[in-house]
């Protein structure tokens, strides 16, 4: 645990040096949220991170939470670590675990700067080619697709497909293309691979109760299966919803207050008994939410 805390501190300091407001979350399925300050020159507005010594320790459930939360927030979800079961992670290489981009702290710096990193898929190392950059570079060089293909040692169809859509290519092919064209043709931005279907999480009794009441009020809901934020409710705006027992309420309230302050999102904590106002977190009891009539009524309470 001490090693993980040192790694989290290391990552936090690096991001703060790049101009991010970075906060630690103790009880969530993510460890850090980093939001870019106005003066930052980074290309990424915000990151949602899990920090692990071994990236293979990421579970499918945790990956599902990261995907859903990052999608709702429009943040980049990622895992920062040092090794996998196969050994130490290579610098400058992006790995994927359950569709979540995973890399070392040094590679994280390249990612926030928008510098291209190599992607490791089964079968080798790849880089993503920017179709527009490739086409413009080829035309500036006065080459047809067939001529460029012959020089690189690939088919004309291969060049055509890379100019049509974003598609990874082997590192050696990219390097030959860039040497021939004399300029960079790769994409520096990283995003999760939307290929994983995590399925619907099982909801416990209290979460089901809140979910049913939110739907009754007119919200659409998405189960997040997060230990901190169990549901995402949507009606005109998103409401990140947490459900807590009496024992969990104060601990969750502190984390949710931090989340609300950092992200600016609307949140709601539903508890067994009334929560004090010292945390500044909008809260309702199970009984109170069952007595509401409309989504607008709840949104008015959250805005008051």
Query: What does the pLDDT profile of the chain (304 residues) look like in tens digits?
Result: 688 899 999 999 999 999 999 999 988 899 999 999 877 767 778 999 999 999 999 998 899 899 889 888 888 899 999 999 989 998 988 888 888 889 999 999 988 887 766 666 555 667 788 889 899 999 998 999 999 988 888 888 889 988 988 777 877 888 888 888 888 888 766 655 544 555 556 778 999 999 999 999 999 998 888 889 999 999 988 999 999 988 888 889 999 999 999 999 999 999 988 876 767 889 999 999 999 999 999 999 888 7
For 167, list phi and psi in degrees, rounded to 5.
-150, 130
Summarised one tens digit per residue, pLDDT across range 67-94 is 889 888 888 899 999 999 989 998 988 8
pTM of structure = 0.77
As given in the structure block, the two tokens for residue 276 are: 């004090």
What residue ranges define each of the domains in the chain, with the CATH number in brackets? Answer: 2-117 (3.40.1350.10), 125-181 (1.10.260.40), 205-303 (3.40.1350.10)
Residue 130: which residues within 8 A CB-CB, separation 6 or more?
166, 185, 186, 187
As given in the structure block, the two tokens for residue 237 are: 């705006």
Summarised one tens digit per residue, pLDDT across range 242-294 is 999 888 888 899 999 999 999 999 999 999 888 767 678 899 999 999 999 99
Residue written as token pair 């898929």: 121
Asked if 177 and 148 touch (Cβ cutoff 8 Å), the reply is yes
Torsion of CA 121, 201, 216, 268, to 10 degrees: -80
Residue 182, CB-side half-sphere exposure with 13 Å CA sphere: 5
Taking alpha carbons only, the member of 71, 27, 81, 84 closest to residue 198 is 71
Taking alpha carbons only, the member of 245, 118, 122 closest to residue 188 is 118
How far is it, in rounded angstroms, from Cα 34 to Cα 47? 5
Instruction: Report the phi/psi class of residue 105: left, alpha or beta, with left for phi > 0 and alpha for psi in -120 to 50.
Output: alpha
Residue written as token pair 């709601």: 268
As given in the structure block, the two tokens for residue 105 are: 């702290």
Q: Tell me the chain's radius of gyration from C-alpha atoms.
A: 23
Q: Specify which residues 103 forms β-bridges with.
A: 80
């Amino acid at each position: 645990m001490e090693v993980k805390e040192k790694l989290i501190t290391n990552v936090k300091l690096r991001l703060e040096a790049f101009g991010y407001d970075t906060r630690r979350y103790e009880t969530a399925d993510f460890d850090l949220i980093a939001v870019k300050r106005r003066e930052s020159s980074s290309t990424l507005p915000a990151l949602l991170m899990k920090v692990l010594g071994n990236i293979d320790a990421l579970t499918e459930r945790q990956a599902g939470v990261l995907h859903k939360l990052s999608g709702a927030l429009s943040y980049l979800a990622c895992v920062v670590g040092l090794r996998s079961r196969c050994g130490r992670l290579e610098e400058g290489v992006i790995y994927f675990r359950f569709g979540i981009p995973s890399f070392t702290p040094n590679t994280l710096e390249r990612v926030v700067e928008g510098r291209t990193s190599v992607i490791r898929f089964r079968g080798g190392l790849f880089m993503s080619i920017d179709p527009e950059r490739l086409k413009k570079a080829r035309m500036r060089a006065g080459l047809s697709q067939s001529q460029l293909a012959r020089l690189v040692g690939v088919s004309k169809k291969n060049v055509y497909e890379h100019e049509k859509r974003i598609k990874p290519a082997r590192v050696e092919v990219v390097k030959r293309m860039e040497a021939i064209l004399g300029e960079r043709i790769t994409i520096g931005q990283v995003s999760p691979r939307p290929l994983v279907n995590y399925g619907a999480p099982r909801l416990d009794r209290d979460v089901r109760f809140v979910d049913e009441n939110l739907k009754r009020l007119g919200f659409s809901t998405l189960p997040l299966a997060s230990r901190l934020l169990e549901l995402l409710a949507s009606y005109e705006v998103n409401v990140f919803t947490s459900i807590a027992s009496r024992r969990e309420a104060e601990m969750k309230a502190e984390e949710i207050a931090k989340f609300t302050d950092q992200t600016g999102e609307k949140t709601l904590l539903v508890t067994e008994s009334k929560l004090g106002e010292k945390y500044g977190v909008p809260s309702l009891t199970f009984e109170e939410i069952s007595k509401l009539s409309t989504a607008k009524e709840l949104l008015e309470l959250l805005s008051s």
